[in-house]
A and B are shown apart, each in its own frame.
Chain A
Amino acid sequence: MIKTGSQILWECLEQQGVTTVFGYPGGAILPAYDALKYSNIHHVLVRHEQGATHMADGYARASGRVGVAIATSGPGATNMVTGIATAMLDSSPIVCITGQVGSKLIGSDAFQETDITGVTLPITKHNYLVTHADQVARTISEAFYVASSGRPGPVLVDITKDAQQSTCEFDGKPVTPQLPGYRPDLSPTPDEYKQALDLIHSAKRPVILAGHGIILSGAMQEVRTFAERNNIPVGLTLLGLGGFPASHPLSLGMMGMHGEAWLNTTIQEADLLIALGMRFDDRVTGNLKTYAPNAKKIHIEIDRAEINKNVKVDVALVGDLRAVLRELLPKVKSQDRHEWLAYIDRMKGDVAVRDIQNLPDNGHLYAAHVINDIWRETLGSDTIIATDVGQHQMWEAQYFKHEEPRTLITSGGLGTMGFALPAAIGVKAARPEAEVWAIVGDGGFQMTMAELATMVQEKLKVNIAIINNGYLGMVRQWQEFFYDRNYEATPLLSPNFVKQADAYGIRSVAVTQRSEVVPTVQATRKHSGPVLIDFQVEQEDSVYPMVAAGASLHEMIRRPNPLEETAADA
């Protein structure tokens, strides 16, 4: 049957199982939008193309399916760049479709022409320029395959206007990708397995460091079995949270710059690191020269280019984490590590004294209280949190205890402010039955708050908790610690968020007292529509502990011990 490139595009997206796309129309993508009438795919109209990419990203992270964003050429495409880079750094499978000027006009600086395949080359896993209808089917099939296989990532497909309009024969059959050079499925050698097992069995003080790879490969059960059988404690990266239950006795929480003090110390004192689907980011390692100085290192990772990139390892098992662990598990012996685990437990006791949760109530509202209360109230229900970037993000990681994978959606690698609201909208579109919260700072929220209208237009119930401290809080914290409290450009004026929400027809309330938090959260959950809560919290609170950039992992700035402080005051 003869069809246009646009018709083929939507049919191929349907073949890939796509039900929802996030986009914004414009001249060069209009033929594709016109053909949407032949398709059952639901189009979510965003307010800015960056929002479309974050929504597709949130959709992908919450569901494990590929998220799709669509935009026009030129500014539409360049507005996607931040969202694409966000997905790239966090290995999130999204496909971005952009219109392009007619193929005859390419290179002529035509109206709304941008070389978007050139622009996105270093921030996509792969990208395509499609100039004729007969390339559409193969390209879409390859784009989805590349985005979702191996180490996932964003793929951009730029389709010229004439490719959308021209016609070709299309039989509707799925097209097999032809990618002779693409090898997403490497696996380790038997010898490498043996070396890894020897290190595991001879270790006295091992620790598992698990990242996003657990969730991406679906290896939650395998990691748990591995840890339990060999009694190895498990630390997680920010993106690994939820990959191993926070309530598990072997769970040590989050590692790194704002990680748990006991875990950072554990890493520094360990004699074996078992890194699972993580990439030794600088926010996780601190100073590489002093990182885990006594530890042998095993790295199980799907991306060979990550091996020995930041941390030199003793054994590397390159392959899909779940498949590698399944191969490894039958040979892992049961070991008792009573002394090592008891030692770590003792460190936890010392830390609890400094925890803000255990401080006497001074009448102030702290972000940690808010987040901890949201966690308590939603405990046991199907709840997904999307966070923005900054202090509230770290407090969420510390005080919201994630038990299940894909329940924390956050921009880790790129640290993209403005991520939370659009990502939460994407999450809700993917998982309508789940309770979805966007936890945002007053700074990040203002970067993409235009998407409130998208949320309302789509009738999606996303609960928005603004952790409003009147500052760009994390930057202020750095200024406090490292720039002599010179609060340059960090005090932040915000609109009246309650009135703003009202203008969108969103129920909203401001909270200033600790006693109001729980009742407000309860009322928010009961309300059928979206709710925005403006939590006006302590303005100059800091996230502890903190490993300064470039410092060693065990050199942490700690929250002052309240007992010592009281003694000093007296």
Chain B
Amino acid sequence: MLNTFVVYVENKPGVLTRVASLFRRRAFNIDSLTVGRTEKPEVSRMTIVVDADRDQAMRVEANLYKLVNVLFVENITGKAAISRDLAMIKVAATHDARSHVLELANVFRARVVDLAPESLTIEITGGEDKIDGLLEVLRPYGVLEMVRTGIVAMRRGGKSEAAIASVPAGSGAEPATPDDNVSYSV
């Protein structure tokens, strides 16, 4: 099954290589990996989706912690979380088809970000299912090009793990999960 990990790492050269190398070395199967800045300049955040059973997922987490530059790991699979993928899809859309494609984009709350005589480019964010859905209905018109960012994910609720991410070395204990925080999909 797919497991989604949120991983805080030190923002230092080579850290992405260390993480990627670990997955290759231990033959863990990465579905997607994204990395970007956080609210702290010295910390980067990764969202890693891995195909793993329960035991493997535990070992992914333990092995990530063995990397000296990894600050915090949370497996958010099955926990209340928001996960988003962004795609840009270039669709062949000549005069006749254009209005149909625009209509479909509207249904999916996607945006047109580029228009050319023979094509238009649609930007969509959402869960993977939603993007897969849009792709499916656009396919008959001719998908010329497509790019996806891979999933970024965040736990729902008020507390941010970013604060926990800078825990000093040696504290060891697992941070408590913020179960008391309630939030709603909007």
Residues of A in contact with B (beta carbons under 8 Å apart): 117-118, 121-122, 125-126, 129, 146, 177, 179-187, 303-305, 307-309, 312
Contact = CB atoms under 8 A, between A and B. Distances in A.
A561 B59 CA distance: 45
Contacts of B168: 180
Contact of B55 (A117, A182, A312): A312
A307 B170 contact: no
Interface in B165-179: 166-172
A106 B10 CA distance: 23
A129 B17 CA distance: 14
Q: Which 5 A-B pairs have the closest CB atoms?
A: A305-B62, A304-B62, A181-B71, A126-B68, A305-B63
B14 A117 contact: yes
B25 A303 contact: no
Contacts of A182: 68, 169
Contacts, number: 59
26 contacts: A118-B17, A121-B21, A122-B21, A125-B68, A126-B68, A129-B13, A129-B14, A146-B68, A177-B169, A179-B169, A180-B167, A180-B168, A180-B169, A181-B65, A181-B69, A181-B71, A181-B72, A182-B68, A183-B171, A303-B62, A305-B65, A305-B66, A307-B62, A308-B58, A308-B59, A309-B59
Contacts of B144: none
Contact of B68 (A129, A181, A303, A304): A181
A309 B63 CA distance: 11
B18 interface: yes
Interface string B6-30: 0001100110011001000100000
Contacts of B18: 121
Given A122-B21, A308-B58, 10 more contacts: A118-B17, A125-B68, A129-B13, A146-B68, A179-B68, A180-B10, A181-B68, A182-B169, A187-B172, A307-B62
Contacts of A117: 14
A179 B71 CA distance: 9
A146 B69 CA distance: 12
Contacts of B10: 180-181
B122 interface: no
B70 interface: yes
B169 A181 contact: yes
Given A180-B167, A308-B58, A185 B172 contact: yes
Nearest to B58: A308
Interface in B135-184: 166-172
Contacts of B171: 183
B interface majority secondary structure = mixed
B143 to A, nearest CB: 37
B80 interface: no
B61 to A, nearest CB: 9
Looking at B21, B169, B171, which has the most chain A CB atoms within 10 Å of its CB? B169
A546 B13 CA distance: 48
A3 B23 CA distance: 41
A419 to B, nearest CB: 23
Nearest to A318: B62
Contacts of B71: 180-181
Nearest to B43: A180
B170 A183 contact: yes
Interface in B32-70: 55, 58-59, 62-63, 65-70
Contacts of A303: 62, 66
Contacts of A129: 13-14
A180 B169 CA distance: 4
Contact of B172 (A125, A146, A183): A183
A354 to B, nearest CB: 40
B157 to A, nearest CB: 24
A185 B69 contact: no
Contacts of A180: 10, 71, 166-169
Contact of A308 (B55, B72, B167): B55
B134 to A, nearest CB: 39
Contacts of A146: 68
Contacts of B166: 180
Contacts of A179: 68, 169
A319 to B, nearest CB: 9
Given A305-B62, A308-B59, A181 B67 contact: yes
Nearest to A118: B17
A307 B67 CA distance: 17
Contacts of B21: 121-122
